[in-house]
Amino acid sequence: MYCKVYSGATYIIWGRKQCPNNNTELVYSGYAGGGHYTDKGAAVEYVCLPPDPSYVKASGKDEGRMYGAEFYTNFFFASDGAGEDVPCALCRTNHANTAVMTPGKNTCYSGWEVEYHGYFSSGYYGNDAATTYVCVDIKPEYLIGGVNQNLSTSGHHRREEVIAQ
């Protein structure tokens, strides 16, 4: 479902449960999800799943699957975050009409302002499934009580816990 509002720009902050404290509105706090890292036909994009889904149809053919995302390494992320589930927040700012991620920069170009900064991240290059690049907040949180699947893989994000099918 696509929803609209008549002002502001939206973006997802990966690795945080809240929006930055810069006059930004929290639309919802959710869970990072996507395809399984071993599925060759998995969707590439991560999604920020809301905590209160509305199911129209919950059964049928097994065409696509949604899995939760976990931090895999402690190198860049929270020192005790390996295996923990990745939160996300859908944020809306009223002081901008456009919000973009600028990879490889820690400052904005002239005329632009920082919303948040973090680490450029994706899944492990050796996994079967492709992933997209996202900016994970520089001080990431994780979801307490998340399920650690303890599967042997390598990469910054791995997607393994079934959230919905």
Whole-angstrom distance, CA of residue 1 vs CA of residue 33: 17
DSSP state of 109: P
Write down the pLDDT at residue 58: 60
Q: What is the pLDDT of residues 45-93, one digit of tens each?
A: 889 999 998 877 666 666 677 888 887 765 566 666 777 888 999 999 8
Question: Of 162, 120, 123, 116, which is closest to residue 45 (Cα–Cα)?
Answer: 123
Element counts in the chain: helices (H) and strands (E): 0, 8
Query: Residues of the chain whose pLDDT is less than 70?
Result: 1-2, 57-63, 73-80, 145-165
Question: Of 96, 97, 107, 78, which is closest to residue 17 (Cα–Cα)?
Answer: 78
Write down the pLDDT at residue 147: 56
- Residue 22's CB is within 10 A of a number of other CB atoms, namely 12
Write down the pLDDT at residue 150: 42
Write down the pLDDT at residue 54: 84
Whole-angstrom distance, CA of residue 34 vs CA of residue 47: 6
Cβ atoms of residues 72 and 154 within 8 Å: yes
Cβ atoms of residues 157 and 86 within 8 Å: yes
Write down the pLDDT at residue 57: 66
